Amino acid sequence: MKRTIKNLVISMTLVTGFTFATSNTSSPNPTQEALETKVRHELLMLPYLGVFDNLQFRVDGTTVTLLGQASRPTLRSDAGNVVKRIEGVTAINNEIEVLPLSHFDDQLRLRVARSVYGQTALNRYALGVHPSIHIVVKNGNVTLEGVVANKMDANIANIQANSVFGAFSVTNNLRIER
30-77 pLDDT, tens per residue? 588 999 999 999 999 999 999 999 999 999 999 999 999 999 999 999
Residue 42 pLDDT = 96
What is the radius of gyration, based on Cα positions, of the chain?
A: 24
Rounded to whole angstroms, the Cα distance separating 103 from 105 reads 5
- Domain(s) labelled CATH 3.30.1340.30 in the chain stretch across 30-98, 103-176
Task: Average the pLDDT over 159-170 and give the result.
Answer: 97
Regarding the domain delimited by 103-176, which CATH topology (the fold level of the hierarchy) does it fall under?
Answer: Histidine-containing Protein; Chain: A; (3.30.1340)
Rounded to whole angstroms, the Cα distance separating 2 from 15 reads 20
pLDDT 10s digits, 108-146 = 999 999 999 999 999 999 988 889 999 999 999 999 999
Does domain 30-98 match CATH 3.40.50.300? no
Residue 31 pLDDT = 82
Total-model pTM: 0.79
Rounded to whole angstroms, the Cα distance separating 77 from 72 reads 10
pLDDT 10s digits, 91-109 = 999 999 999 999 999 999 9
Residue 113 pLDDT = 97
Residue 29 pLDDT = 58
Rounded to whole angstroms, the Cα distance separating 50 from 117 reads 14
Residue 162 pLDDT = 97
Sheet holding 169-176, edge to edge: 133-138, 141-148, 169-176
DSSP H stretches of helix in 45-102: 73-84
